Chain A
């Protein structure tokens, strides 16, 4: 296997080739570094490259030659979002403010290392994960457009062949949005599945960790590796690691696919709508039963996520606000942190009560369906600097548009993935979102794999 073959192959095959001596991890990492040197000047996906990445890879090759026991990510270059603390690379969480983050690994990073991954560098993110654009990172499909955010560097790095997969974090869509705009797979498993110790908090009850990957199998594999109980995360589930491999090859017979016709299909680009409707029809042709429904209470969701995200984030940043350090934040992030002070305690609790109600409604939904599908986003990647978009004759702020279909799954804490389902006329990728019941990542992966296998790339 050549390094270029490896950049297109599933991680399990690449790791097997490294173990068998058919591919050198050092050659693969060198190829990724060549790609970074050739194109990251324009994409700006990385904020730090590991100086010892090639040495790590050579040690993996030595271990393979000696027949040492190796993990499922042996010799695989993985990029880490810059809000995951790392023992051997600095963390900034995307801020220029003078905040000292410790040099240590959290649970997810420790599990990646234990599985044999080579941490090739830290990817750029929207400051403190509070935004959808990740400046100055650009989109690999069109460098005049945004990669999405807040895990925009991870999305760009995966698509550009800078690594085989990357980590992200998702509070209102920050894994799925950049994955959708950059044409890769982004997977946010159930709240609590992946421990968040060592990830700089944004909004404690909404934050999820997860991967961005080139294909569904890699995303599922990374969830299998990163998941499991984390005693240092108060939100961690008392559950062991997932095993999602069997879901990758299942057919559609008996699969019940829900389509929520209100909220998730309102005011979207006609080309996105066409690609998503075609994908739903495809699942039907493959043997799934399509069930349409509505959840009227979704109309209150935007107020709820704003109340929770603003107040939680500002609670985290309060010492920095009080000390004036927020003056060093980017203007958009400083404004959001300041606005959090205007949310009242009763508004916050109304939002948390609403989550209980919404959770009840969706438990009723998931009694009748296995997954809920729709567009990941109403639009494809927008131009850098673009502030508004016209959809259905209505002008909307592009940032409000970007997370409309993703944030409900953060309020609900349910697993959700985005998988590419086509391109618009400008050649920009379109994402298809699949969500599941709590801790039923298997149905999400099963459906995503069906879409991937039966959608022409």
Chain B
């Protein structure tokens, strides 16, 4: 699927000290505490998922090289 916004530009990405963002998360530093707090409920569900032993199960999203004849100008 193509990105319909067409709004991604290198100029958009400013350095962290210019934006006042936490360098690790890119979240605005003054919001980091609130965001982490809100994430706690979700984090508990993800922590439960981590306890599941998936042994040799592969991820469902797999990279697949595309044959030349399958390529079109727009296909991902």
Q: A99-B7, A198-B4 are in contact. Are A306 and B46 (CB under 8 A)?
A: yes
- Which residues on the A side are within 8 Å of B39 (C-beta)? 339, 342
* 14 A–B contacts from the bound complex (CB under 8 Å): A99-B7, A104-B4, A197-B2, A198-B4, A199-B4, A200-B4, A231-B75, A299-B48, A310-B42, A322-B14, A335-B38, A339-B35, A342-B36, A347-B50
Cross-chain contact A300 with B49 (CB below 8 angstroms): yes
Please determine whether B42 and A341 come into contact, CB atoms closer than 8 angstroms.
Answer: no
Whether B58 pairs with A353 at a CB distance below 8 angstroms is yes
User: How far does the alpha carbon of A248 sit from the alpha carbon of B38 in the complex, in Å?
Assistant: 45
Q: Is A204 an interface residue (CB 8 A)?
A: yes
Instruction: List CB contacts (< 8 Å) of A292-324 with chain B.
Output: 297, 299-300, 302-304, 306-307, 310, 316, 318-324
Cβ contact of A342, chosen from B34, B43, B50, cutoff 8 A? B43
A20 within 8 A of B: no
CB < 8 Å neighbour of B42 from A299, A306, A318, A321: A306
* Total inter-chain residue pairs, C-beta < 8 Å: 136
By a CB distance below 8 angstroms, the chain B residues around A140 are: none
User: Taking the complex as formed, is A102 at the interface, i.e. its CB lies under 8 A from any CB of chain B?
Assistant: yes
Residues in chain B within 8 A of chain A (CB atoms): 1-9, 12-14, 19, 25-28, 31, 34-36, 38-39, 41-43, 45-50, 52, 54, 57-61, 72, 74-76
- Do A321 and B49 form a contact, CB below 8 Å, given A339-B42, A342-B39? no
CB neighbours of A104 from chain B (8 A):
4
Which residues of the other chain, B, contact A359 by a CB distance below 8 angstroms? 60
* Number of A residues, CB within 8 Å of B: 57
CB–CB B31/A319 < 8 A: no
Write out the residue numbers on chain B whose beta carbons fall within 8 Å of the beta carbon of A235: 1
Query: Does A87 make an interface contact (CB < 8 A)?
Result: no
The answer, among A232, A316, A321, for a CB contact under 8 Å with B2, is A232
Q: Within the complex, which residue of A199, A327, A357, A397 is in contact with B54, where a contact is CB–CB below 8 Å? A: A357
| In-complex Cβ contact of B47 among A197, A231, A303 (8 A) | A303
Residue-wise, chain A 418-432 has the 8 Å CB interface mask toward B (1 for contact) of 000000000000000
Which of chain B's residues have a CB closer than 8 A to the CB of A397? Answer: 41
Q: Quick check: A231 and B5 within 8 Å, CB to CB?
A: no
Of the candidates B4, B34, B52, B72, the one whose C-beta lies within 8 Å of that of A354 is: B52
Judge if A234 is at the interface, Cβ distance under 8 Å.
yes
A307-B6 in contact (CB<8A): no
In the bound complex, do residue A231 and residue B49 qualify as a contact, i.e. CB atoms below 8 Å apart? no
* B11, chain A: closest CB distance, angstroms: 9
**Interchain CB contact under 8 A, A343 and B74:** no
The chain B residue with its CB closest to the CB of A195 is B1
B13 to chain A, nearest CB (A): 5
Contact between chains at A201 and B7 (CB < 8 Å): no
Residues of A within 8 A of B6 (CB): 100, 102
B62 to chain A minimum Cβ distance, whole angstroms, is 9
Identify which of B7, B28, B58 gathers the most chain A CB atoms within 10 Å of its CB.
B7
